[in-house]
Structure formats: structure tokens, C-alpha cells
Chain A
Amino acid sequence: MSTRIRTHRVGVTMALFGLSSLLLLPFATLRASRIQTGDPVSALDALGPWWSSGLVAVWVAIALISVRDSGGPRAATARGMLASLALLGTVGLSGVAATRLLAEAGTFARVSVGLGAWACIAVSYPLLLASRRELGTAPRVTRLALSAVGPVGLLVMVGSGLLGDLAILREYVNQSDRFWTEVGSHIALTAIATGIALAIGFGLGVLAFRRPRLRGPVFTVANVFQTIPGLAMVGLLFAPLSWLGTNVPLLGRLGVGGLGWAPVITALTLYALLAVVRNTYAGLASVPDSVVEAGLGMGMTEGQVMRRVRLPLALPVIFGGIRTSAVQTLGNATLGAFVAAGTLGLFVFGGLSQQAMDLVLLGSITLVALALGLDAALRTAQRLVTPRHTRRTEAVR
């Protein structure tokens, strides 16, 4: 075990950054009503002397343990725990600040998380990630605890009502019926578009692999679709889909039109194609010739080699493409708001055009949480798919 004492520069830098954000930037913003511009409130005014010195103490502690760092797992664990404390403490105390400030303000007043608190959150999270990384060899439990502490702590705080006075949760209460409907339609649009893109993209990827002459055109077209901005794609589809909806009665009855689900699904699908095509092709092309020859030598037909050798070996790479395109699609699905198809974009862009910042935050934070959750879920699924086939590769070799 290394006992070389040195300065953990990341820890010190982050602690100084956190400390100065806490002391110099507004911890909360107080608005007289939901759409008014706010007055900045410092940490001392928002939290009172005790709570604010508690937060300061956490950052000072991070700085102190980082100045002389033994480089061992204990220091990393301590820093990780302090970083989680800073992260959850900032979020939780924002809720406390909201309750305190609202007690003295009018009925329509709103309290939002201030720039300083955001900065503290933004610094403590990478610090948490860093300590988890430094604990690479530590017991799984420790690492798992460090990854779970953020999301679990946040859920507990929201569930317990500690954050209930923050403007973003007030916004949620106002929108709660519509909120879950839009989350549902957001997920549905993402799933449908990713599914269609997967079916078409997989076929095109196999085609590009089988027919080298088609490779160039397939990639060029998929690349063009991904280069065109999503909003422009929806705009390009507006006139032709409106025409189809009015002039082809069957499509019109299905709800095809320039507005609604049709342009969103089409645009999202076209946009998601490239990642699937690229990874399907790359996965198939990465299968070593020796493995394929072994299969052929065992008397397999070309089709059997494809199904039983190439595809299983390519699966992890193909899965990576599905993950990329699903996560991209989730973000782009916000475009639905521009064509009356709902989605979280309704809150994000609706909030921007009304200048209701807390509504924007409600939508954006939910979107980010969904994206991180989807990515983590697909990553886990990808890992589950991988080892068995890797083992099979080694067996074949």
C-alpha cells in the first residue's frame, strides 16, 4: 500500500471552487411570483449562520484531507463521503432555504436554487466520481454505495417533502397530472422510434456488410439524416405529411399530418439510423476471419455462419449502437413540443417561451435523469450480453 504523502490537486481545486461558489455566489433566488426575475440571496441570508457554516465546514474538510493525501483507499473513501455530503447537503439545504425564505415572503413568492448552489452541486459530483474511480480495487460494496448515495438521497429528500417548498417542486405540483402523461408520451415516442430505427438500421447494416458496393451510399444517406438538425427535419416533413394526411384518407384517419406523432417518429427514426447501421456494420466486420473459417470448416453454410457465429460475436457492438441511438432519441424527442406531440419538450420549451425558469428546470432535470437512467440500464444489459459470447469466442479460438 502506498503511503506517499502528496497533495490531491483535484480535491483541493474542487474544494476551493465549492467554497468560493458558496461564499461569493447567490445560494438561492427569491422571486415575487413565478415569472418575475429574482433577487439573489446569499448562503448566510438563506440558511442562517449554523447551516451555512456547516456547509462551509464540509468544503474545508475536503480541502484539508486533500492537502496531505496518503493516496490510500481511506483518503479516497473519506473524500467520496464528504463529496456526497456536500452534494446532498446543498440540495437538502436548498429545500430548507426555500422554507425559511417563503415564511417571510408573499403567497405567490418562489424560491429557486441559486447559481452558487448549482456550482456546488456541479463540483461535488465529479469529486464523487473521482473517488469512486480511485477506489477501483476497493470492495464492490463501497463503490456501489458511492454510486447509489446521490440518486437514493435525492429520492428520499423529494419523498420526505424536504424540498417541497422549492419552486421546481411547486411547478411539479401544478403540473402533476400533465407531467406523468408527458413523461409517458416521451418514453413511448422514444421507444417506438428507436425500435423502428433498430429494425431498419440493422437490416441496412447487414446489407452494407454483405454488399460492399452499397456500403458508401447507405452510410452517406444515414449520415445526411443525422447531420440535418432535428427541428429542421420536423420542418421539412411538415408540408409533405400535411399533404398526405389530407389527401390520403386512411393516413389522415390514423392521425398522420404535419403536426402530431407522425413528424416526430419519422424525424427521430431517421436521426437514430446512423448509430445502428454503423455499429451493426462495425460489429460484423470486426469478427476475425479465422473464426468465420472455423465455422465454414465445420460445415456451416454462409447463413449459419451469419446467425451462429457473426451475429452473436457482433452483438455487444450492435448493442452499443442501440444504446447510443436510444439516448440520442430520448433527447431529441423534446422536439415533439414544437409539433403538438407533447413530450417533456412541452415543459422545457413552453417554460422558455413563458420565461418560467422553474418549469424549464423541471423538464430539463427530468430529461437528464431519464437519459442517465436509460444509459445505465442499457449499459447493464450490454454487459449481460457480452461475457457469455466472449467466452464463446475463446472456446472457438
Chain B
Amino acid sequence: MSRARHLAVPAAAAAAYLAVAAATPAWRWVLGAVFPEESRLLYPDATPLALVWQHLELVLISSVLSVVVGLALGIFVTRPAGTDFYGVVADLTNLGQTFPPVAVFTLAVPLLGFGLRPTILALALYGVLPVLRNTISGLEGIPADVLESASGLGMRPWQRLARVELPIAVPVIMAGIRVSVIVNVATATIGAIAGAGGFGAPIINGLVNLAPAITLEGAVLAAGLALTLDALLGGVERTIAHRERAAATAR
């Protein structure tokens, strides 16, 4: 029941967002009413819904990569086998907080090349940092007595990780994933300049050609996607935290 409460509103918002994006004639009508003298109303190369899919493709693939790498690295450096590397990884995540996301992207493109795949890799590269940071702090925040009692129950290290450590750390990790995804949505809008498509394409097209309707189309879609994803991931975060708390009381 609690799960439904935290996720119902964001899920409805996501459905509404997609429905609005799919209604191309409505976009033309509204933009026509706002800009009566403007003949260029919609981005000519893709419908609003197609832009959403392009952008989602960039964000989802890069975020999945970020989460997998960030989680794996975070787990590795908090295990006995990986403690030697803990310091280096911590240094890098600290450095990453100062590094502008845009710079990670623009430094990666000259090395990786143009187009969809390099853009995804560049986004994934920066996105690793928040996931990694939160995985480490989530796993480190677990009280020592909890770990000891898990080992006392005869759990092997990997069992302890899967059944005790990760479930307790998951709300913190989820918060890192949320930051990572939202930064990726923003950086992906700039990906248009490296030929990756997405919402950056209409925004930049409109700014360059002084076509305010086209810019507004891209900007509204981009802002909507960022807010929708933020709400959805926030809902997931709260659901998990809620369930964790319930489980803790049950224990």
C-alpha cells in the first residue's frame, strides 16, 4: 500500500508527460497561439515524441552503464580485497565534484569521437561518480554491530553483502542514482552538438535561427522529462526507504 502511495503520483505524471509529448497537433496549436506571427512552430526533423525517445535512449543507456560501474567499483573498494584502492577512488570522486559535467563531456568527445555512442560513453563517465560516492557512503554507514551479528549468524561475505549490506545501503545508493540520472538528462541536451540528437537539437536550432517556438518546444520537453524522472526516482527512493524502515521495525 505504501509503495502505491509513493509511486502513484509520479507514475501518473510520467503517463501525462508521454501523452502530452505524443499530441503533436496540440503542440502546433498551442505554439501557434503563443507565437501568432511565427511560421516555424515545431522542430522539423523529429516529432516531440521521437525527441523524447532519442533523449531517453541517451539517458537510459548511459545511466545503466553508470549504475553498473559505480555499484561494482563501490562494492569492490569496500571489500577487503579492494581496500588498497579505496583512497584512489575516493580522491577521484572528490575531484569529480569539482569537475564540471560539461567538461567531462567535452573532453571525452575529442577522444572518443562524434555521434551517439561516444556521447553515451561520455555521459556514463560522469554519471558513475554520484553512484560510486553514494554506494561507498551507504556501505560505510552500516553500523559495525550489524555486520558482526550478520557474520555471527554464519553468513558468508557475499551473503552478508546481498542480504544485509546492500538492502540497508540501498536508499543512499538510490539517491546517488537519482543525481546521476538528472545530471545525465541535462548533459545529454548538450549532446546535440556532438550529433547525438535529443532535446538539445530543437533548443539549439531555435536559438540559432531565432525561432522561439522551436526552442520552447525543446525546452518544455527537456524540463518536463527532468522533473518527471526526478519525481519517479524520488518515489522509488521513498518507497525503498519506507520498506527498509518497516523491515527494520519488524526485525
Set B99, B189, B222: member contacting A368, Cβ < 8 A: B99
Contact code string B184-211 (vs A, CB < 8 Å = 1, else 0) = 0110011001100001100110110000
CB neighbours of A371 from chain B (8 A): 98-100, 103
Q: In the bound complex, do residue B193 and residue A353 qualify as a contact, i.e. CB atoms below 8 Å apart? A: yes
Given A368-B103, A371-B103, answer yes or no on A235-B207 (Cβ-Cβ < 8 Å).
Answer: yes
0/1 per residue, B91-109, Cβ < 8 Å to A? 1100101111111001101
Q: How far is the CB of A342 from chain B (nearest CB, A)?
A: 14
Q: Check B91–A133 contact: CB distance below 8 A.
A: yes
Q: Which of A8, A118, A233, A331 contacts B223 (CB 8 A)?
A: A233
Asked if B110 and A360 make an inter-chain contact with CB atoms under 8 angstroms apart, the answer reads: yes
Q: Is B114 an interface residue (CB 8 A)?
A: yes
Once the chains are docked, how many angstroms separate the CA of A231 from the CA of B208?
13
Does the CB pair A235–B203 fall under 8 Å?
yes
B226 & A229 in contact (Cβ 8 Å cutoff): yes
Q: B158 to chain A: closest CB distance in Å? A: 21
Residues of A within 8 A of B84 (CB): 8-10
List B contacts of A10 (CB < 8 A). 84-85, 87-88
Q: How far is the CA of A130 from the CA of B103 in the complex (A)?
A: 24
CA distance A133 to B85 in the complex (A): 13
Query: Is B218 positioned at the interface, with any CB of A under 8 Å from its CB?
Result: yes
A238–B189 contact, CB under 8 A?
no
User: Chain B nearest CB: distance from A183 CB in Å?
Assistant: 15
- B contact residues, range: 35 or more
CB closest chain-A residue, reference B83: A9
CB distance from B176 to the nearest CB of A (A): 16
A115 interface hit (Cβ, 8 Å)? yes
Interface residues of A in 1-41 (CB under 8 A from B): 8-10, 13
B102 in contact with A331 (CB, 8 Å): yes
Interface residue? A352 (CB, 8 A): yes
Complex-state Cα separation, A238 to B204, whole angstroms: 11
Whether B114 lies near A355 (C-beta < 8 A) is yes
Interface residue ranges of A162-212 to B (CB < 8 Å): none
Answer whether A352 and B109 are a contact pair too, CB < 8 Å, given A231-B200, A232-B222: yes
Residue from the list B92, B100, B107, B219 in contact with A361, Cβ < 8 A:
B107
- From B31, which residue of chain A is reached at the shortest CB distance? A239
Interface residues as binary, A233-245 with B (CB distance below 8 Å gives 1, 0 otherwise): 1111011001000
Chain B residues near A (Cβ < 8 Å) = 34-35, 84-85, 87-88, 91-92, 95, 97-103, 106-107, 109-111, 114, 182, 185-186, 189-190, 193-194, 199-200, 203-204, 206-207, 212-213, 215-216, 218-220, 222-223, 226-227, 230
Residues of chain A touching chain B, judged by Cβ–Cβ distance below 8 Å, are 8-10, 13, 115, 118, 126-127, 129-130, 133-134, 223-224, 227-236, 238-239, 242, 258-259, 327-328, 330-332, 334, 338-339, 345, 348-349, 352-353, 355, 357-358, 360-361, 363-365, 367-368, 371-372, 375
A231-B222, A232-B220, A239-B215 given; 19 more Cβ-contact pairs under 8 Å: A126-B91, A227-B230, A228-B223, A229-B185, A231-B186, A232-B186, A232-B218, A233-B223, A235-B203, A235-B215, A236-B220, A238-B215, A239-B212, A327-B97, A352-B106, A368-B107, A371-B98, A371-B103, A372-B98
